[in-house]
A and B are shown apart, each in its own frame.
Chain A
Amino acid sequence: MKILVVEDSSSMRAYLTTIIEGGTESYDLEIVEAASGFEALKTLPHHRFDAILTDINMPDINGLELVSFLKNHPVYRSIPIMVISTESSDEDRRRAAALGAEEYLVKPFQAPDLVEKLRRLLKVA
């Protein structure tokens, strides 16, 4: 399985990757990282993703705009999305859901929460 992690902070990306790798050792999981919305858009045609995790606050295009694009795209609309953002952006969380994001995770979160939501997203037990 392949997942895309979109996050502009390199250490947050590294942290997410570490947690995901640690929590999903039993699956054959490949993580592709993107440091911005643009990078995400660029990398999309080259992979078949089973899930996408994205931050909201990013330069160029933000997470909501990315979700909007994906959920309106004939090919990508079926990829489940988890938006990861901070508690302060309550309104943005509502908007992410309205755009069709399947899961929402609030930073700071506990590692097991991320793993659990990811499993749900990937529909694996």
Chain B
Amino acid sequence: MAREDDRAKEEFTGEAEELLDTLSRDLVDFEAQGTSVRPELVNKIFREVHSLKGLAGMLGFVEISELSHNLEDMLDRLRMGKIAITKDLIDLLYDSVDSLNRLVIAINDPSLSGLVDITALARRIHQIITNQPAQKHEDPFTELTLDEQTKKSLTEYEEHRLLENVRAGKYILALEVTFDFTDFDERLRALTSSLADAGEVISTLPAIPADGVSGIAFRLLYGSTLNDAAVAALAPDAKVSSLRKTAAPAIARTEGTTAAPVVEPVAPVEEEMSLRSLSQTVRVDIAKLDHVMNIVGELIIEKTQLESLTRALSTQQARMASHELGKISRNLDRKLNELQKSVIEIRMVPVGQIYSKISRTVRKLARELNKEIELVLRGEDTELDKMMVEELTDPLMHIIRNALDHGIESAEERRAAGKNPVGKVTLTAYQQGNSVVLDVKDDGRGIDPELIRNVAAARGLIGEKESIDQQRAYELMFTPGFSTASAVSEISGRGVGLDVVKKNILDLKGTIDVVSKVGEGTTFRVSLPITLAIIQALIVEAGGEKFAIPLTSVEESLRIYSRDIRTVERREVFTLRDFTLPLLRLSDAFSMPDDHDHGPDTKWFVVVTRAGEKVAGILVNSLVRQQEVVIKSIGERLKTIPGIAGATEIGESEIVLVVDVGSLIDRFGGRAREVRAGVLVS
């Protein structure tokens, strides 16, 4: 049995971690939705805790089982509408999930056990439960004509939801559908999600279909703001009937004969009892947005072809036609821009969404580290693509953890240095052109290049006696294998180094830079494109091939001659207004045949590009034009080549590669224009 126990333990920790992960994300949504939280979400959170409790109980993890039991009890009351959503409750949920996480980690590392005080949490839970007045039980069925079988199959929770919907004056409808056995699950899920926008599917009861019909039938109990006719239009396959005995529910009924669903206003007063309120927000599946975005992308390609056709036509004879086409193209362009902007806007969410999570983590970490921290959060309204915000959370948290753990000194140390004993960490988000910048600034001890050098030397990343400058020191911190053992403390994560943070940011086509001054503090600057899908690009030609360079990375472009190019330390450079600009050739980067250089008078263009704080010049033979391009991802094989962000069609079925300036500079080197320690030039 011992081995079985081990296996069970292993499976449990895996699933528990997954559950807690989902739970944490659901909590963030829960907090964001506030008092208008969807009942479905509350129930989901309840179920997650319930599952955890069941598992822990079976396997004899007493503390996890006890804590989740208390938590489940509270959540049960919450979903039953017996207690209200308060700030205390939300804080308690976060703290509990956090403690559960620790308890799960402690299963495999007993040295960590004893860190969680579940009795304190139990007390807090008890307090919240007892502070709420009891509610009298009502029978939701009196107003409904509901068959016995459906009535009997409702769980206590479903009965409660039914009651809430009756109280809120919703239409209570029964939907009967019959699906084929092969795909009933998909079709039922599709139906349920289309119904979710205008109401709540309270229960789904499978049934035997009517005589002579094959497949499986379902009877859905649906509380909705739509009447039976409107729901029938929404679900054409279903037989819809109203279950209210009284003809007119409390909400105003729109007498309409139109087949189109009519969303009726719900009296706001009635909503107080319910967890749910109708907000102005529509939750859109990101896949649907991706689809619209793809259509926009294809339209842009069409437009580009229209433009090139217009150019081809502009001979004497066809001037009139060309003129007309030009006009159409311009109008199309304007409309497309509008469409594109609005689609991008739909995808945008404020970064403030993750701020609450950050502040909680910081509070908790500060406690653990026994440091006093003032956290300043700015620019919470700054908007970023939804997917990016999701992907950004982990790397950002990592940087902040680093700041707290390694950056901020202990209170004594700070006092001794004549600093405010309270350490300050500032997270600022702001938009800069087509990028969103996030600065994490601390007023801690700063990064000592000498220390970095020693660590890097000890890890064999550089020679034992090799001396390095500040910029190189910062770069080394992001190198795989740099992360020190002491950095793998509980605080700074599970041995994930800054190299992973950097990779995550690069995957988002972003950049990360660091500026620090010993004794004064450190700033990590993460810069991300607002969206990934459509960009303005400069089309260039190098070595007989065309490339697209994202305009957001381009600072300027200028014409030079071969004789202007010098070589310093085996690196081609060009002097740009007192600044030594490192040059790179796309032919070198992508191992293409050499550019043709016909002596000192050969003409070149230098495209001055920037990634984060670093600049480099890309040498090209000519600048073709500037245009909007839709980045399409390329196959797995090319994905690994640094310097390529994707491919794009630039009209006339011509496919070109899109240059990823960030990874190109990262690979072939760029130079910070102004290395002023401690200050970021903004």
Contact = CB atoms under 8 A, between A and B. Distances in A.
A15 B6 CA distance: 11
Contact of B206 (A66, A86, A109): A66
A56 B185 contact: no
A42 B181 contact: yes
B51 A92 contact: no
A112 interface: no
Contacts of B184: 38, 41-42
Contacts of B189: 60
A73 interface: yes
Contacts of A98: 152
A68 B153 contact: yes
B156 interface: yes
Contacts of B181: 42, 45
Interface stretch (A5-13, A25-33, A117-125): A5-13
Interface string A64-95: 11111100111000000000001011011001
A99 B153 contact: yes
Contact of A69 (B8, B65, B72, B205): B205
A86 B57 contact: yes
Nearest to B153: A68
A92 B15 CA distance: 25
A11 B8 contact: yes
Nearest to B186: A38
Nearest to B51: A9
B216 A68 contact: no
Contacts of A64: 153-155
B500 interface: no
B206 A108 contact: no
A74 B208 contact: yes
Interface string B409-446: 00000000000000000000000000000000000000
A62 B208 CA distance: 17
B207 interface: yes
Nearest to B11: A11
A48 interface: no
A89 B206 CA distance: 22
A65 B204 contact: yes
- Most chain-B CB neighbours within 10 Å: which of A9, A59, A67, A92? A9
A108 B181 CA distance: 35
A56 B155 contact: yes
B155 A92 contact: yes
A57 B205 contact: no
Given A61-B204, A92-B155, A12 B47 contact: no
Interface string A91-118: 1100100110000000111000000000
B75 to A, nearest CB: 10
A64 B53 CA distance: 20
B4 interface: yes
Contact of A65 (B8, B185, B203): B203
Contact of A9 (B55, B76, B205): B55
A72 B189 CA distance: 23
A1 interface: no
B53 A86 contact: yes
Given A10-B15, A14-B8, A65 B57 contact: no
Contacts of B153: 64-65, 67-68, 95, 99
Nearest to B18: A10
A18 interface: yes
B59 interface: yes
Contacts of B185: 38, 41-42, 60
A37 B155 CA distance: 15
A11 B12 contact: yes
Nearest to A58: B47
Contacts of A61: 204-206
A15 B15 contact: no
B149 A12 contact: no
B152 A95 contact: yes
A40 B280 CA distance: 38
Contacts of A12: 51, 54-55, 58
A65 B205 contact: yes
B453 interface: no
A42 B184 CA distance: 9
Interface in B93-125: none
Given A64-B154, A88-B72, A10 B11 contact: yes
A45 B184 CA distance: 14
A101 B664 CA distance: 66
B14 interface: yes
B50 A11 contact: no
Contacts of A9: 15, 51, 54-55
Interface in B1-19: 4, 7-8, 11-12, 14-15
B12 A60 contact: no
B149 A68 contact: yes
5 contacts: A15-B11, A38-B188, A60-B189, A67-B153, A72-B207
Interface of B: 4, 7-8, 11-12, 14-15, 47, 50-51, 53-55, 57-60, 65, 69, 72-73, 76, 149, 152-156, 158, 181, 184-185, 188-189, 203-208, 216
Given A41-B206, A65-B206, 19 more contacts: A9-B15, A9-B54, A11-B8, A11-B15, A12-B54, A14-B8, A60-B185, A65-B153, A65-B205, A67-B153, A68-B205, A69-B208, A72-B208, A86-B50, A92-B156, A95-B153, A95-B156, A108-B58, A108-B60
Query: A-B pairs with the 6 shortest C-beta distances?
Result: A108-B57, A68-B153, A11-B11, A69-B206, A38-B185, A11-B15
Interface of A: 8-12, 14-15, 18, 22, 37-38, 41-42, 45, 56-57, 59-62, 64-69, 72-74, 86, 88-89, 91-92, 95, 98-99, 107-109
